[in-house]
Amino acid sequence: MQTLGLYLSIPFCKSKCTYCNFASGVYPASQIDGYITRVIDDLRAMRSHAAEWGTELPEIVDTVYLGGGTPSLLSAEQLSRLFSALRREFVVLPASEITVECAPGQLEDASLASMAENGVNRISFGVQSFIDAEAKHSGRLHTREMALADLNRVRSAGISRLSLDLIAGLPGQTAGSWQESLEVLGSTGVDHASVYMLEVDDDSRLGREVNAGGFRYYAPQVPTDEAITDMYEEATGFLEKLGLQQYEISNFARKGRESRHNLKYWDRKPYLGLGLDAHSMLRAEDGAAMRFATTDELPGYMEAPSWQPRRLAREEELEETWFLGLRRNAGVNLRELAAQFGEETVREIQPTLVDLECEDLIVLSGSEVRLTARGRMVSNEVFERFLATTPVS
């Protein structure tokens, strides 16, 4: 039975974090109601769109993820409207994983109660740093105390699956302060953590400032690339010792507590994304992947989501299989790859595999190909080597 993951994008934030490169913004709260109505309209229309595009839209949903943005800004009533609409349009299995991303200090009691009533069983907190000055200098609105208090509130509301996000590379961060953030994370006993390395690119205010050699947003205090890599490595070892096994480049969990929703992205299972800048992958009737996304401009989205489904060529599917599969510690299975793309495809990639193994970037064990710890550090380079060799027989 094919099941569906459902992603709902809530792009509203109270303030814009300096490092943020997401399609999110600070909009008047009065716009949220209209936005929810727009998303519900899309939910209702999706089945007929899917039929028009010749894509299969599974009726059974087993993961739901409200991301953003800051979904914890939704009121109790807005949350209930959304969850009622999605249960009207889809069969949401009772054992579904239902996650909401929350910003510490931005979760009202009534909204938390509504989440619990509506079946939310997993919360992901965007903490980024437990050092108050680091959080503040990055534009976050919480302190360590607020974040820890929220974790207790959520547990008291009966939601026990908790994840915390940390970012390595925030301005002012040092090896010592990073260690402190990790230790506080460890003390919370959460069963999942995500660790991201700061992305310095022109898509965020901080990234632009760093690239321009400017002084705003504490840009000169951004740690060096080497220091950021060391922090990531430190986190990997620390979290493993806590019993949070790495299962993807940025994700760590106790056994059985991996994000089932996010695994669908890397395993290329069907998912539907609704709302601003939401991405989807469904399957055409012949099994080919169809991808589509909504615009990242809020006014444009409110007029029309402007989906333009695109059928992937087999070369693109193969590239994705490598690119997404290698992100997972489980890696890519060559037997499955051969079954899907042909024996010749696997034969032609062998020289690249041998080279990468000699360079200690991948490990080959039986029919599994996985990144090594070193390969994960330079994963983009490794992916490029695979993408340069993607024949399809």
Binding site for ligand SF4 (CB under 6 A): 13, 16-17, 20, 22, 24, 68-70, 103, 126
17/282 with CB nearer ligand SF4: 17
Output Rg (C-alpha) for the chain, integer angstroms.
21
12/271 with CB nearer ligand SF4: 12
Q: Which residue is nearest to ligand SF4 (CB)?
A: 20
Report whether 191 contacts 243 (CB < 8 A): no
79/326 with CB nearer ligand SF4: 79
Neighbours of 287 (CB within 10 A): 9
Q: What are phi and psi of 67, to 5 degrees?
A: -125, 180
Q: What are phi and psi of 61, to 5 degrees?
A: -105, 130
- Minimum CB separation of residue 98 from ligand SF4 in Å reads 20
- Minimum CB separation of residue 23 from ligand SF4 in Å reads 9
- Minimum CB separation of residue 206 from ligand SF4 in Å reads 11
17/164 with CB nearer ligand SF4: 17
13/276 with CB nearer ligand SF4: 13
- Minimum CB separation of residue 180 from ligand SF4 in Å reads 21
Q: Where are the beta strands (DSSP E) in the chain?
A: 4-10, 55-56, 60-68, 91-102, 122-128, 161-168, 192-197, 245-248, 251-253, 271-274, 279-284, 289-293, 310-311, 332-333, 362-365, 368-371
- Minimum CB separation of residue 216 from ligand SF4 in Å reads 16
Q: Which helix (H) or strand (E) holds 163?
A: strand 161-168
Nearest-angstrom CA–CA distance, 193 and 147 = 14
Q: Which of 237, 118, 242 is closest to 187 using CA atoms? A: 242
Q: Which helix (H) or strand (E) holds 332?
A: strand 332-333
24/55 with CB nearer ligand SF4: 24
17/362 with CB nearer ligand SF4: 17
CA pseudo-torsion sign 262, 263, 264, 268: positive
Nearest-angstrom CA–CA distance, 375 and 354 = 14
**Residue 288 tokens, joined:** 């080919």
- Which residues does 360 contact at the CB level (< 8 Å), separation at least 6? 372, 374, 375
- Minimum CB separation of residue 295 from ligand SF4 in Å reads 17
Burial class (CB in 10 A: 0-12, 13-18, 19+), 187: exposed
Neighbours of 97 (CB within 10 A): 21
- Minimum CB separation of residue 352 from ligand SF4 in Å reads 36
- Minimum CB separation of residue 238 from ligand SF4 in Å reads 23
64/206 with CB nearer ligand SF4: 206
> Which residue in this structure is represented by tokens 């060391």?
230
69/309 with CB nearer ligand SF4: 69
- Minimum CB separation of residue 123 from ligand SF4 in Å reads 14
**Residue 390 tokens, joined:** 């993607």
From residue 220, alpha-carbon distances to 46, 183, 225, 330 in Å are 47, 26, 13, 38
- Minimum CB separation of residue 225 from ligand SF4 in Å reads 21
